Amino acid sequence: MGSTAAEVAFFTDATLERAEIDRFLDPQAPSWAQFDSALGYLPHDSLVPDNIDGALSEYRYGEFGERLQVNHADRPTRINTYGDSFTQCHQVSDGETWQEVLAAHIGEPIRNFGVGGFGVYQAVERMRRAEASAAAAPYIVLNIYLDDHYRNVDAYRLLRLGRWWRDYDRSLTTSMFHANPWRHVRIDPATAALVPQENICPTPDSLYNLCDTDFLIDAFGHDFVAQKLIADQSGDYRYLAEHEDLARALSIDFRPDTAPRETAHALWEGAAFRATELILASLKGELQAAGKRLLVALTYPAEEVARYISTGVRTDQSFVEALTQLGIPVIDALQLHADDYRDFALSPDAYTDRFWAGHYTPLGNAHFAFMIKRRLVEWVDPAPPAYDEEQASFARQAGRLA
């Protein structure tokens, strides 16, 4: 069966230019990311003009690929953090991240393995690499941003980001190219189990396939996410007939004839959130067996925070309930911000403007750090140096403190 006009138009618009790949792969070109065969990309030392007031953000990385540790870097690290750009702390410089604000305050370092654009699956895959190295730590913070669930099932996230991101990348002196194909997951419609999928472009040379419209059609024409994106543009949801078994596995109300757009969204969202639940269920047992402790921190875009403050409705309510059932401790930044908002006499949008500029600003990172500080201090044992009176007493006796 041939491709529809809508499919051809979609993939033609998504076809990259070779110059975009050349720039990403050029070791001499300023670049925010570098190629990785499994995860698509990993962070790279860079200067990007994305901080407040047009300032440059300085992104530097250590020997294990973690963001540069600034505070107490000479001390042993007990806490490793993983996640996406709200973990990496995009749009701020090295010393302005919430990890560094916390490290300075509690008296011990915190490693930052966040990677902008990663989903839960990709962040956990990176975690497994780092925790198998000399960078391993007994305390693991996994930060999950609202969009991270959907990234689990993205085979090629740039299809979802669209042309605007490519135009933005080309406007920068430092390339922000990323979101290329990576390892991802699907939900087996027969068993509702998690099915890992390999990266379709696992070598630098294979990235040039993304410059071929026919390759994109062959590779992603029947991709679950791409089908939804095309249907949302064209209004043709006939693809849903292929996914009735998935709807049944996810307990989704399948109404392709009477509510096709809603059904398509429910399938996509259901698969995304179910993937995170399955990933976390497996990860919990894996870390427990290794003698490690897991804490999940939930972060959100400004729009979701403002909406929750205004309505009390959250997109991820079922997922939060699933975390409770899994028995995984959680820091819920959505609720923390709603509680914090009660101290302000301004609109929800004006409140979020104080702390977000897409991602948390330097002030937003500091605010988040102190919103979660108490929970983090109570979680580790023994308490961090700044909260451990026995350590403070020993330091005084040793003459290290006045």
User: What are the tens digits of pLDDT across the range 89-124?
Assistant: 999 999 999 999 999 999 999 999 999 999 999 999
Q: Would you state the pLDDT for residue 397?
A: 47
Looking at 107-259, list the stretches that DSSP marks H as alpha helix, in order from N- to C-terminal side.
120-131, 148-151, 158-161, 163-171, 213-220, 224-234, 244-249
Write down the domain spans for the chain.
30-205+292-397
Cα–Cα distance measured from residue 386 to residue 388, given in angstroms and rounded to the nearest whole number: 6
Q: Would you state the pLDDT for residue 389?
A: 74
Sign of CA dihedral 279, 149, 179, 238: positive
Cα–Cα distance measured from residue 49 to residue 171, given in angstroms and rounded to the nearest whole number: 11
**What one-letter code names the amino acid at 154?**
D
Cα–Cα distance measured from residue 334 to residue 308, given in angstroms and rounded to the nearest whole number: 8
User: What are the tens digits of pLDDT across the range 111-165?
Assistant: 999 999 999 999 999 999 999 999 999 999 999 999 999 999 999 999 999 999 9
Contact 52, 96 (CB under 8 A): no
192-196 CB contacts, 8 Å cutoff, 24+ apart: 192/249, 192/250, 192/274, 193/278, 194/275, 194/278, 194/279, 194/282, 196/121
The structure tokens listed for 354 are 């104080």
Residues 6+ apart with CB under 8 A from 165: 158, 179
The segments of the chain whose pLDDT lies below 70 read 1, 390-402
CATH class of segment(s) 30-205+292-397: alpha beta
Chain position carrying tokens 């302005």: 96
Strand pairing category for 293-299 and 330-332 = parallel
Residues, the chain, total? 402
